[in-house]
């Protein structure tokens, strides 16, 4: 699958220090990642499909919680996609990879500033 990517777009990114007292009454947040795809355009003549990959995430660590939404427009060359369910798992992972990289970069920089020490390096596993 040949993909031409546009620049990632940070729709939202939130950093919050953990408030364990608040969590006692309101529940502990859970780490979660969800990637969805929005079909934007199908060009039968050019045999190209344009989709937006959207990553919604929450990462819960001992000292902080981050959450947000990051998206990216992708032009898939040589293929018409009618439904996002047509993507294989490796294709989904490939389309989501730049979004996860952006979460890692943002988190490293923000935690470096917040803690005044080397930033937190997130690691994602399949």
pLDDT at 71: 98
pLDDT tens digits, residue range 102-116?
A: 999 999 999 999 999
Of 52, 57, 4, 70, nearest to 31 by C-alpha is 57
Q: CATH number of the domain that 59 lies in?
A: 3.10.420.10
The answer to whether residue 111 is domain-embedded is yes
The answer to whether residue 18 is domain-embedded is yes
The answer to whether residue 126 is domain-embedded is no
pLDDT at 126: 58
The answer to whether residue 121 is domain-embedded is no
The answer to whether residue 104 is domain-embedded is yes
Q: How many angstroms separate the Cα of 11 from the Cα of each of 63, 99, 105? A: 24, 11, 15
Q: In angstroms, rounded to a whole number, what is the distance separating the alpha carbons of residues 56 and 22?
A: 23
The answer to whether residue 106 is domain-embedded is yes
pLDDT at 89: 94
- Which domain covers residue 31, as residue numbers? 2-115
Along the 126 residues of the chain, how does pLDDT read in single tens digits?
899 999 999 999 999 999 999 999 999 999 999 999 999 999 999 999 999 999 999 999 999 999 999 999 999 999 999 999 999 999 999 999 999 999 999 999 999 999 999 999 998 775
Is residue 92 a contact partner of residue 35, using CB atoms and an 8 Å limit?
yes
The answer to whether residue 120 is domain-embedded is no
Q: In angstroms, rounded to a whole number, what is the distance separating the alpha carbons of residues 9 and 101?
A: 12
Provide the whole-model pTM.
0.91
The answer to whether residue 73 is domain-embedded is yes
Total count of domains within the chain? 1
């Amino acid at each position: 699958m040949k993909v031409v990517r546009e620049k990632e777009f940070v729709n939202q990114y939130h950093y919050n220090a953990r408030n364990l007292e608040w969590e006692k009454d309101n529940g502990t947040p859970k780490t979660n990642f969800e990637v969805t795809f929005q079909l934007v355009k199908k060009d039968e003549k050019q045999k190209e499909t344009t989709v937006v990959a959207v990553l919604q995430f929450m990462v819960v660590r001992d000292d902080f919680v981050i959450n947000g939404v990051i998206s990216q427009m992708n032009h898939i060359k040589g293929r018409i996609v009618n439904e996002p369910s047509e993507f294989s798992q490796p294709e989904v992972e490939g389309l989501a990879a730049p979004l996860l990289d952006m979460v890692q970069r943002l988190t490293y920089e923000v935690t470096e500033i917040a803690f005044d020490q080397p930033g937190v390096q997130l690691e994602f596993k399949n």
